[in-house]
Amino acid sequence: MISKTSQLQIPDEILEEIVEGETKLVVPKRSITDKVPPKKPAFFNPKAKLTRDMSIVAYSAFLNKFRGPRVFLEGFSGVGARGLRVAKEIEMEKVVINDLNPTALKLARDAAKKNGLECIEFSENEICRFFSDYSKKGKRGSIVDVDPFGSPAQFFDCGIRATMHGGILSVTATDLQVLNGLFQDACKRKYGGIPIRVNYGNEIAIRLILGCMNIVTGRLGVKMIPVFVESDMHYYRTYVKILNRVDQQDNLGYITHCNTCGNRKTTCEPTQNCNLCGSLNKIAGPLWIGQVFDKEFVDDMLQEIPNLIVDKKCQNTLLKCLAESEMPGTYFTLDEIASQTKTSPPKLENILDRLKKMGFTASPTVFSPTGFRTTANIEQIKKMFLSN
């Protein structure tokens, strides 16, 4: 049977209705069955459910304290999974989802009808043209979402312009090889900074994204404050608050890493030699060296979870984020230290307890299941491993 609700003719047998959170979605069946979701006839990634869950938590927590129009703008909607969920599961005044694929928008419209959504609008436009329509005072979004294939850097400018004062801009990056140091020149061109290949490369990648965004906001005369970030095997996602005032604090800097002893630190000015062993440092940056989690915002997200239908992993993730929200930049991993000391990796809980008993602060990190942050330096950590 052929659907007649649109001029686009889509065979019903290639579609499937699913429920995510509280929202009905209409998706291509191959998105569910194929190992890699196809882009045609429309893109939907079922593995991204957790990050969509986290978006619902973050946006809901943000709006609880936001005083202004509740307007959600989505630049790359695909079948509309995130935008439809925002419209259904969060009290919004207006949701506008945009995509250049008319088939994807057709499926989004069908799903909107199934969910009885009236606050949602649809746009078929190039993303910067779309955001340009909402970049004037009185039309901007309180939440602006950019989730492209590959790098989001080219959309920072228009995304920031479409975000109102005090609003949230969230962006996703999937060009992981570029950000993790495999193609340093490409990373420098796109993000304005150089990555290095280290065990904590995902954190460097996120700080490069934030550093690039910080430069763009500075050029536009506004300020950005990171409130939450995510790192998964196939994407990096950042949430920043946009404020109409220039940032007076210099949060751009570098991460230096010594391959000889493993010492690493964030710094405003790069140093060529390791301060512990004197060997030559590898240098990443310029990048964001400020906090990546806002403690109050993460706590607000935790408080919001009981009101929503989301994966239980969200709470566990946020608890780690809360614990590390005020910890030093860069983390260590158990395997990394064990390899350097030629010892067996101990339990993470034991290491954290011992570090605290020695007078250091320490916490697990959401960036790695065996990772931890601490005020202890690499030599102090090694001594502890060797005396285990």
Q: What is the pLDDT of residues 21-62, one digit of tens each?
A: 999 999 999 999 998 898 889 999 999 999 999 999 999 999
**Single-letter amino acid, residue 179:** L
Is the pLDDT at 247 greater than 70? The verdict is no
pLDDT at 6 over 50: no
Q: Is the pLDDT of residue 152 over 60?
A: yes
Rounded CA-CA distance 180/211 in Å is: 15
Question: What's the pLDDT tens digit per position in 201-223?
Answer: 999 999 999 999 999 999 999 99
Q: Chain-wide mean pLDDT for the chain? A: 94
Q: How far are the Cα atoms of 181, 257, 261, 374 from residue 339, in angstroms, in the given order?
A: 22, 17, 12, 19
Q: In sequence order, what E strands does 87-158 have?
A: 94-98, 120-123, 141-146
pTM: 0.95
**pLDDT (average), residues 366-378:** 97
CA angle 388, 203, 313 (to 5 degrees): 80
Q: What is the pLDDT of residue 67?
A: 94
Burial 150-182 (b: 16+ CB within 10 A, else e): ebbbebbbbbbbbbbeebbbbbbbbbbebbbbe
Gap between the Cα atoms of 325 and 294, Å rounded: 6
CATH fold of 331-388 reads: Phenylalanyl-tRNA Synthetase; Chain B, domain 1 (3.30.56)
Give domain limits for the chain. Answer: 12-250, 331-388
Pick the CATH number of 12-250 from 3.40.1590.10, 3.40.50.150, 3.30.505.10, 3.40.50.2300: 3.40.50.150
The predicted-structure confidence for 123-142, as pLDDT tens digits, reads as follows: 999 999 999 999 999 999 99
Measured in whole angstroms, how far is the alpha carbon of residue 88 from the centre of its chain? Answer: 22
CB 253 within 8 A of CB 271: no
Question: What confidence score (pLDDT) does residue 11 get?
Answer: 74
Largest CA distance in the chain: 72
Which two three-digit tokens encode residue 13?
């047998």
pLDDT, one tens digit per residue, over 286-337 is 999 999 999 999 999 999 999 999 999 999 999 999 999 999 999 999 999 9
Q: So what's the pLDDT on residue 248?
A: 62
pLDDT at residue number 233: 80
**Identity of residue 154:** Q
